[in-house]
Structures are given as structure tokens and as C-alpha cells.
Amino acid sequence: MSDDTNEYTSLETRLGYTFRSRGLLEQALTHKSFLNERPQPDRPDRRDNERLEFLGDAVLDLAVGHLLMETFPLSSEGDLSKVRASLVSEAGLAQVALELAIGEWLFLGRGEEQSGGRHKPSLLADAMEAVMAAVYLDGGFDPALEVVRRLFHVEAARAGQGSDYKTRFQERVQSELKVQPRYVVVAAIGPDHDKTFEVLVTVGDRELARACGKSKKEAEQRAAELALAVLDAEFS
């Protein structure tokens, strides 16, 4: 990605928001690995996107919560909380980032670039949070809310509640790719009474996603959710 902020026009079009300060957008797209490998002595004020991720998490919670309250006036707090958690989860954010092709715009270090960082759900989700913080800082809450309204499909998320991601993923892979997904436990960390499992899911020879959980079942569900987001982006 070039350092020329004038190249952001097509991304702004996808977002539906034009920045007054494109420096904020540049910061939102700058992963710490880029600045670690490429110090900017001529731009000492340039920062990575970690602080924006922090703010973007809060902006998204508020904006999505607002839309859910507006869209589903009769739903309970518990139901709304579940839908919001799904929308702002790593998989939910990564899916939106993939639809926007945010990965094309990221400033990454060589290691992240070579390891497929432009398609990593965790990195894309972080960048999505940072971009939303940039919109909020640049234009305020109302423009941020409108961006969320366009990009996050609250009705579809509400309809999909209670779904079994692993079953959905298996049905999808069998239907579209004619193969079976495979789950592999790659790590089990902690004492027996409090383990955290890391699971990766593969289709053929390709790793689609990996995730952690307090049980193998939970980790597999989370990995399937992330893998569905990857497939959604690729087949859209």
C-alpha cells in the first residue's frame, strides 16, 4: 500500500464516508508491524492503529446497540445482547472488513504480509474497529452510525441467532466445495481444570481459520464462525 493518502477514494466510496482528515484513515490502516520494520523519521507523529482499535470497539458497541434498539423495539435485552455480540465478534467484523476489501489497504510489516495478514480475521477485525474510530473522530457519532447502518446487517444477524456454526459450515463446504472440513486441536494451554484449546479448521490442504475456546467444542464453533466469514467474502 502506498503512503499517498489521495489513493483512499475508492475505500471511502465503499465506506460511504469521505474523511476530512485522511491521516486518521491512514492511522487506522497501519498495523504496528509496519512501523516496527519501517520507522518514519520524517513523520514522527505517525502512529499504528492500536489506540483506534480500543476506541472503535466502544463506537461499534454503541452504534450497533442503537440500531438494534431502533430495529427491534420488542426484543428483550438478552436477545439484543446476543445479536450485538455476533455482529461485533471477530468473525462479524472480519466479514465486514472482507466485504470492504480493507485488507488491500493495510500497511503491514514483511512478516505479516508473508503470513497472509491481509486475510487474517483477527487483523481484519482490529482494522475494522480502528476504521470506525477514525470515522467517529473525523465526523462524530452520527456519520459513524450511518456507516454502521450501511455495513452491518442487523436484521440478518437477528434471524441467524441460535445457529450452529459448525453445522452451517459443514453444509456450506459440502454443497459448494464437495469436501468435508477438518478440525485439528493445535494447542491446549493451562491446567486440566482450566484449559484453553486452540483449534484450526481446514478445507482440503487450506487452513481457513483458527480460534480458541474453553472447550474443544467452543473452539470448533468459533473457528467455524470465522471460516464462514471467509467463505462469505470469497463467494460474494
Which residue carries 499504528 as its cell? 48
What CATH number did the domain enclosing 218 receive? 3.30.160.20
pLDDT single digits (tens) 22-46: 999 999 999 999 888 777 767 777 8
Choosing from 159, 179, 200, the residue where a domain stops is 159
- Per the annotation, the verdict on 57 as an active-site residue is yes
Which of 26, 53, 112, 129 is the catalytic position? 129
Q: How far apart are CA 145 and CA 97, in angstroms?
A: 16
Residues 38 and 65 in one domain: yes
Give the largest Cα separation in the chain, rounded.
55
Q: Residue 130: what pLDDT?
A: 98
Of 217 and 39, which is predicted with more confidence? 217
Length of the chain equals: 236
Residues 21 and 72 in one domain: yes
Choosing from 131, 159, 187, the residue where a domain stops is 159
pLDDT single digits (tens) 141-175: 999 999 999 998 877 666 555 557 888 888 888 88
Which residue carries 492503529 as its cell? 49
Q: How far apart are CA 78 and CA 47, in angstroms?
A: 38
Which residue carries 513523520 as its cell? 43
For the segment 57-73, the average pLDDT, to the nearest whole number, is 93
Residues 98 and 184 in one domain: no
For 211, the domain range is 165-235
Residues 139 and 212 in one domain: no
Percent of the chain with pLDDT over 70: 93
- Per the annotation, the verdict on 205 as an active-site residue is no
Q: Residue 73: what pLDDT?
A: 81
pLDDT(50) > 90: yes
Q: Residue 16: what pLDDT?
A: 94
Q: Residue 48: what pLDDT?
A: 93
pLDDT(218) > 80: yes
Q: Confidence class of residue 176 from pLDDT cuts 50, 70 and 90?
A: confident
Q: Residue 2: what pLDDT?
A: 47
Q: Can you count the helices (H) and strands (E) in the chain?
A: 12, 3
Q: How far apart are CA 61 and CA 209, in angstroms?
A: 24
**Least confident range of 40-44, 85-89, 125-129, 176-180:** 40-44
- The count of structural domains within the chain is 2
Question: Do the bridges between strand 181-189 and strand 206-213 make them parallel or antiparallel, or are there none, so unpaired?
Answer: unpaired
Q: Confidence class of residue 194 from pLDDT cuts 50, 70 and 90?
A: confident
What CATH number did the domain enclosing 96 receive? 1.10.1520.10
Q: Residue 228: what pLDDT?
A: 86
Residues 141 and 40 in one domain: yes
